[in-house]
């Protein structure tokens, strides 16, 4: 079974530029998560989707961050414009059910560096 796929693995951009991350969850997993992980910290939830609906985006900085999950499968997370403080690892995860009472399967992450 293929795991969660993310691309790109690494991205270096200048501040004020836009950037997008892509995630393909495990087949059949209805729930998709985007997390931000700063160095030396645990992941922090940005947004959770159940199918194509964003059910929890309370931690997503909506002035510059946006996300979509068209057709309830792949998802894209965008930052526009990027700031120096956005440098972090962006993790995508999926799970088979609509609650957090199940394990989550994580992708390898996208390491973003904003210069």
Partner 1 sequence: SQQGEEDPQALSIQEGENATMNCSYKTSINNLQWYRQNSGRGLVHLILIRSNEREKHSGRLRVTLDTSKKSSSLLITASRAADTASYFCATDGIGANSKLTFGKGITLSVRP
C-alpha distances in Å from residue 97, one per residue of 28, 59, 94, 101, 105: 10, 21, 9, 8, 12
Does 22 contact partner 1 by CB under 8 A? Answer: no
Does 40 contact partner 1 by CB under 8 A? Answer: yes
Nearer to partner 1 (CB atom), residue 63 or residue 103? 103
Does 43 contact partner 1 by CB under 8 A? Answer: yes
Does 108 contact partner 1 by CB under 8 A? Answer: yes
* Shortest spacing between CB 4 and partner 1, in angstroms: 7
Position among 50, 52, 56, 57 found at the interface with partner 1 (CB under 8 A): 56
Does 1 contact partner 1 by CB under 8 A? Answer: no
Does 113 contact partner 1 by CB under 8 A? Answer: no
């Amino acid at each position: 079974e293929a795991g969660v796929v993310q691309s790109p693995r690494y991205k270096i951009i200048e501040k004020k530029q836009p950037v997008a991350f892509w995630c393909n969850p495990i087949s059949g997993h209805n729930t998709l998560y985007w997390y931000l992980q700063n160095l030396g910290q645990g992941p922090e939830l940005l947004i959770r989707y159940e199918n194509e609906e964003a059910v929890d985006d309370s931690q997503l900085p909506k002035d510059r961050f946006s996300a979509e999950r068209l057709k309830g499968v792949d998802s894209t997370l965008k930052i526009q414009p990027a700031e120096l403080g956005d440098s972090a690892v962006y993790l995508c995860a999926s799970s088979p059910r609509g609650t957090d009472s199940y394990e989550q399967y994580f992708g390898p992450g996208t390491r973003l560096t904003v210069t």
